[in-house]
Structure 1
Amino acid sequence: MNAELDLLVRLGDYERPQEVASRAVHAEELGFDRLSMGETTGWNIVPALTLIADRTDTLGLSNDVISPFGRSPALIAQTALTLHDASDGRFRLGLGPSSPAITERWHGESFDRPLRRTREVIEIIRAVYENGNPAYEGEIFDIAGLGYERDIPENPPPIDLATLGPKATEMAGRFGDGWAPQLFTKDGLTERCEDLKRGAELGGKSPSELRVSPIVRGIAAEERERARNLARRTISFLLGAYGPYYGNSVAEQGYPDVVADIRGAWEDRDTDAMASRLPDELLDALAPAGTPEEVRTWVDDYAATEGVDAVRIGFVDGMTDEDKKTTMEAVAELV
């Protein structure tokens, strides 16, 4: 496989942050290039990432993703620079526009102009990177500025954006250093990469300078149908119940009727019906699910999509620890 291999873990699967670090050590032993994790309403990601940085030597670290509504821009820059130092330069910062539910019902902020806010946050982080000072005058932020107390590294953490739509992805290409999309078919990913390229050109950079690392959630198990049923339940939930954005994106990729059917089942909170309304065609287009050999073949094929630099493997709901090890070991054979 020419692309790199990343692992996405879910902090909610572990009892203590130290257990996440143990998973990272195993990932490094298997040859994964990078490990990432999300942050919503559970643990703060910084302690877990710091533990991982301390217990690994070569594994890259990322986060999927910090909300521009959840921390001030200067604090995000501080967080990135701290994790850069803790990991000896192995950290990449992940940002995304977030969602109304997390923004309003967890952080208590208004989900107002998320793309503009994300852009300004990036520009303020860049200001800290370049000048050690977040001084900035924008449409949303007006910061007088103070000096960062430590030396700025020569190569501060790159900034990856998690986006779905055309304008947001253009922004990722223009202002970011990488793109981490989720729930894209190969054809959908290829089409959206055109928006990324356009953004890169607007930002005066080559698309090859951007690290494209799509997230795919899957499971490898000898019990093929069990694996596919678990994946089907997770993907259908993401499409029908997990906010509007993933479902809208997949609908625009050519599956509006499927998404509408799944959302109809969610109106009755019928998760069994949601899963049954996800056809094999779409499951196979979005998720590696089946025997270890099938999953390995799927990931290798997806990684061959033009413009993809890494495939970020995540897990599905209901997996045992043995399932996770089997999945990791299956795809690690591609390294």
Structure 2
Amino acid sequence: MGDLKLGLAQGYWSRAPQENFIEMAQEAEKLGYDSVWSAESWGNDAFTPLCWIGAHTNKIKLGTAVVQLSARTPTACAMHALSLDLMSKGRFILGLGVSGPQVVEGWYGQPFPKPLARTREYIDIVRQVLAREAPVTNSGPHYPLPYTGDDGMGLGKPLKPIVHPVRKDIPIFMGAEGPKNIALSTEIADGWLPLIYNPYDESMYEKSLVNAKPDFEINQMVMVNIDDDLQAGLLRVKTFLSFYIGGMGAKTQNFHKDLFVRMGYEAEADKIQQLFMEGKRDEAINTIPDEFADSISLIGSKARIKDRLQAWRDSRVTSLLVATTDKKQLRDIAELVL
């Protein structure tokens, strides 16, 4: 395994952006962090914060983890990527994912079915735009280019981007949770952005990653809390997990819950979802096993974290995306890893 790289995971906003999000990115750059990542849900978009960060930094890579496919057409997404990569002088990484049916159909008003086929078409179109070798066309059913529907005017013309890309090979990462989607990422993407990764037991992902190329990257967000109060640190991780398992998805289809089930926690997953939907969030949080929350995060004293970092170094993960808003924690992790 190679040396671990570090990134800063800024996630998506809740009520408003963190007041220090620019300072955190600048500090990460000074400390030798490789990248900084933004996200989107049904509030802020993922690209705009990176523009702001890119204007106030010089070398740190700028990644989306992740932009949602249904938020914009493939060519619109490629235009964002082209623009940001040009303005940042080749620092952009495009991370994208399908999201889930609640968001796709409830927020974007788009149909959710056939996410793998849509992803394949989407990334193919984005790569055509970035390559700028020929007018962009797509014969697939999800994103036909030019548009050929009966309700159109029949005047669509294949086009090449006016803008000349600074790089034709902007890295594309996929946010993926299901086995087939993860396997697809090894085929059509440059890297994978898991939601949950347990470095102490990688067996669940072995079959999905069997065709991964040697340079395939895995960038994992890790919640960090350097504090002697282990239980307080674990509570934050468990709160995050319970929200995804219990509240981010419909009762009949929740990819995050399905992932937790595949990891061996079916009874706990069912209970968390039930409690969450009954409004008993504290009880849902306490249903997450401490040992699981501990295995996917870096919590405890500096000495404890230094010891537990070895599992990540021995794993297939290539970058740890540190989720923190505290400069001291950012420095402490850099000292331990870099």
| Runs of 4+ in structure 1 over 6 Å off | none
The whole-number CA distance in structure 2 between the counterparts of 1:239 and 1:287 is: 17
CA contact under 8 A between 2:50 and 2:62: conserved in structure 1?
yes
Question: Of the candidates 304, 311, 317, which is equivalent to residue 320 of structure 2?
Answer: 311
Of the three residues 235, 249, 260, the one matched with 2:259 is 249
State the Cα deviation string for residues 257-296 of structure 1 (Å, max 9, x = none). Answer: 2222222322322111112212222112222222343334
* In structure 1, distance between residues paired with 2:284 and 2:290: 13
Which piece of structure 1 moves more, 18-27 or 165-174? 18-27
- Does 2:39 match 1:38? yes
1:9 aligned partner, one-letter code: Q
In the TM superposition, what are the counterparts of 1:202-221 in structure 2 within 5 Å?
207-221=213-227
User: In structure 2, how many angstroms separate the alpha carbons of the residues matched to 1:188 and 1:161?
Assistant: 21
2:291 paired with 1:291: no
Structure-to-structure mapping, 1:184-333, within 5 angstroms = 184-186=197-199, 189-198=202-211, 200=212, 207-243=213-249, 244-305=254-315, 307-315=316-324, 324-333=326-335
| Stretch moving more, 143-152 or 163-172 | 143-152
Deviations 1:205-249 (A, max 9, x none): xx2121111222332234333222222222222222222112211
> What corresponds to 1:23 in structure 2?
24
Match for residue 82 of structure 2? 81
Alpha carbons of 1:61 and 1:286: their partners in 2 closer, same or farther (altered >3 Å)?
A: same
Deviates more, 1:107-116 or 1:254-263: 254-263
Per-residue CA deviations over 1:73-107 (Å, capped at 9, x if unaligned) read 10111111111112111111001121112111211
Query: Is contact 1:232-1:278 (8 Å) kept?
Result: yes
Verify: 1:125 aligned to 2:131, yes or no: no
C-alpha separation in 2, matches of 1:139 and 1:327: 47
**TM-fit CA distance, 1:154:** 4.1
1:203 alignment counterpart: none
Deviation, structure 1 residue 18? 7.8
The superposition leaves residues 173-219 of structure 1 with CA deviations (integer Å, 9 ceiling, x where unpaired) of: 11001111111222554431431233x4xxxxxx2121111222332
Q: Please report how far the alpha carbon of residue 20 of structure 1 lies from its aligned counterpart in structure 2 after TM superposition.
A: 2.4
Give the length in aligned residue pairs.
Answer: 320
For residue 142 of structure 1, give the secondary structure of its aligned residue in structure 2: coil
Partner of 1:165 in structure 2?
Answer: 178
| One-letter code aligned to 1:83 | L
Q: Is the 8 A contact 2:90 2:167 kept in 1?
A: no
Distance 2:20 2:14 in 1: 9
* Counterpart amino acid of residue 278 in structure 1: I
Provide the TM-score with structure 2 as the length reference: 0.87
1-structure distance, mates of 2:102, 2:229: 36
Query: Greater helix percent: which structure?
Result: 1
Question: Cα–Cα, structure 1 residues 11 and 166, in superposed 2: closer, same or farther, change >3 Å?
Answer: closer
Identical residues among aligned pairs (%): 24
Secondary structure of 1:213 counterpart: strand
CA distance in 1, matches of 2:309, 2:37: 18
Task: Determine which structure has greater relative contact order: mean sequence separation of CA pairs < 8 Å that are 6+ residues apart, divided by chain length.
Answer: 2
Alpha-carbon deviation of 1:16? Answer: 5.3
Q: Which of 173, 183, 201 does residue 196 from structure 2 map onto?
A: 183
Which structure 1 residue ranges, 5 or more long, are not aligned? 201-206, 316-320
Deviates more, 1:135-144 or 1:114-123: 135-144
- Contact preservation (8 Å) 2:96, 2:173: yes
